[in-house]
Chain A
Amino acid sequence: GENVEQHPSTLSVQEGDSAVIKCTYSDSASNYFPWYKQELGKRPQLIIDIRSNVGEKKDQRIAVTLNKTAKHFSLHITETQPEDSAVYFCAASRATGNQFYFGTGTSLTVIP
């Protein structure tokens, strides 16, 4: 089955700096890669996703890049703000079936 690895497990940045979280996956059949943000005590919520026919996607301060050959994808947050502090999860999913394989999460702290 699919194996998703996520690094780093914790990340601290100064407000205004950029943050990068990286994930690798093992199954070349995976073609959908969502990123979820979970604030303390709240449910995970989708913040951005990318499909395998696209190499990069951007939404304001958030961007995701995908390298299918190397089987890795990354979340980039620019101009970080304290409200970006949360746990971020990456996931991978195949075209057939809708099962997500999640990474182990990255706890991001933005220091004011």
Chain B
Amino acid sequence: DVKVTQSSRYLVKRTGEKVFLECVQDMDHENMFWYRQDPGLGLRLIYFSYDVKMKEKGDIPEGYSVSREKKERFSLILESASTNQTSMYLCASSFQGAPGEQYFGPGTRLTVT
């Protein structure tokens, strides 16, 4: 059974703080993704990674960075949190090759005050 976990379910941070969101998967997936989910906007891709130390920008990378030092772990970093980054953040993972199911984590509800 695929398991994708995220470090926190709820997080409250102040404007200007550096924020780390972590995602771990246990299925040896090559691909990992970070999305943010906002009402009426669906799931928007922030960054993704096809391999260790490799990253690609998604549709909305501004204000975010990522790190993938190990295959099972993919971190999302908000260098200086702002109120417009208040959102639900979802991590996902999948096998490489032909497109197939992405498995999602439970999400982190981040509030920036």
Contact = CB atoms under 8 A, between A and B. Distances in A.
B48 interface: yes
B98 A100 contact: no
Interface of B: 4, 31, 33, 35, 40-45, 48, 50, 58-59, 90, 94, 96, 98-102, 104-107
A94 interface: yes
B96 A43 contact: no
Question: Which of B40, B104, B105 has the most chain A CB atoms inside 10 A of its CB?
Answer: B104
A17 B45 CA distance: 34
Interface in A88-112: 89, 93-95, 97-105
Contacts of A100: 33, 43, 45, 99, 102
Contacts of B45: 99-101
Contacts of A103: 42
B42 A104 contact: yes
A89 B99 contact: no
